Amino acid sequence: MTWAHSNWHDPQVVADRISTLAKERRLKQGKGKALVCVVLGAALVAAQWDKDVVQQAEGEGIKSLQDLVKALQEQLENETKSLSDQLAAERVTNQRLHTALTEALEQERILQEQLDETRSQIGVENMDADSDEGRESKLLYPRKYLEHVREIFSLGREEAIMRPLIKTETVDGGQGGVQQVTTRIVPYSPTDLAKIQEKYSRGPRETETEYVWRVSLTGGDRILLSEDKARGYWGPGVFITTNDNREPWSLTQRVAYWAGGLDPMERGDPFSIKTPMAGHILESVQKTACLQLMHDRLLVPQQPSPMQYVADPDRLHPLIRGLPDALKLYAVQLQDRLRALRPQRRGGPPEVTWGEVAQELIN
């Protein structure tokens, strides 16, 4: 049987095996039928056994392929279901975006109607024509209306005496010499300082951030105090000295420098600065500029107002969160543009101030 398993498929080898065995047994002519039957029987059994083995192997291969196909079908069904669920979710998201866009357009229409009503009330339609008339008509809020908004943040007549008196003298050098310009700030009287301290002391219920905002929005940018004049106690825990004698600093710079020494959570920095209407953009941007002033503790000469400082795009987040939906996308684009300007400072476009940010948003 061992021989048959290896040789049954070759007829010549089978015949040779029969002849060899007949010679070994010295069988006579015509004898040896039993020998032939044994060899052929062994070859037949070996052939049948090999066939069964092959069929079993083929069956196992077919079953393995069937199992693989079944697994692939299940995987395909799962992926199809996942894609179907994802498509359904995207449809829901698109529907929500469409609804949000419709609501934003409706709000913009209502805002435009309110704007038209406001223009009719303040007589914008009767403005005199000038060289900027073509550009002015494209602005959402005309320049004369913005001037009216800016008056909200200006000092009243009663407070005008609190503004420092600045005198400038120009001396001609003569015969082509260089002119000499001398600037001198007339000091406040004790009465003026008492009024300033009374008006701008921090209230007991004000957070540090709210205190800085109130000072800046009610004229603190225009009140310049030397280090000597600023010494003293200005409310709960507020000492507005900076230990910097370079020049008189504005009251806004001083209180922002004081508040900047505190943790943002302690001083009450907002997560969002609400801007319900376009007329509040100036105020909201000025509040954002004050946050930068407190964060960086900047003391930059000749820049008493936070609106004159270069805008830091990383400080725009509270402003963007509080803007109307129609302005948020533009504000994010403006933030990206300010970030792109950072590597290009040398020889690149001029840096953008907070005042210019406010004007862009208003436009």
Integer CA distances (angstroms), 309 to 109, 292, 301, in order: 34, 9, 11
Cα–Cα distance, 255 to 219 (Å, whole number):
13
305-361 residue pLDDT tens: 999 999 999 999 999 999 988 899 999 999 999 998 877 656 567 789 999 999 999
Distances (CA, A) of 170 to 25, 167, 177, 301: 145, 10, 13, 21
C-beta of residue 315 within 8 angstroms of C-beta of residue 334? no
In this structure, what are the phi and psi dihedrals at residue 157, rounded to the nearest 5 degrees? -60, -40
Q: What is the pLDDT of residue 167?
A: 52
Q: Are 145 and 119 in contact (CB under 8 A)?
A: yes
Rounded CA gap, 32 and 305, in Å?
Answer: 126
Answer for the pair 207, 268: CB distance below 8 angstroms, yes or no: yes
Q: How many CB atoms lie within 10 A of CB 131?
A: 7
Residue numbers of the chain with a pLDDT score lower than 50: 123-142, 145-146, 148-149, 152-162
How much is the pTM? 0.53
| Model pLDDT, residue 262 | 92
- How confident is the model at residue 211, as a pLDDT? 95
Query: Which pLDDT belongs to residue 184?
Result: 62
Residues 6+ apart with CB under 8 A from 159: 199, 219
User: What does the pLDDT look like over 240-275, one tens digit per residue?
Assistant: 999 888 888 999 999 999 999 999 989 999 999 988
Tell me, what DSSP letter sits at residue 153? G
pLDDT of residue 130: 43
pLDDT of residue 86: 84
User: What integer pLDDT is reported at residue 258 of this predicted model?
Assistant: 94
Q: What is the DSSP string of 234-300?
A: -STT-----S--SSPEEHHHHHHHHHTTS-HHHHT--S-----SGGGHHHHHHHHHHHHHHHHT---
The tokens 């007991």 sit on which residue?
Answer: 204
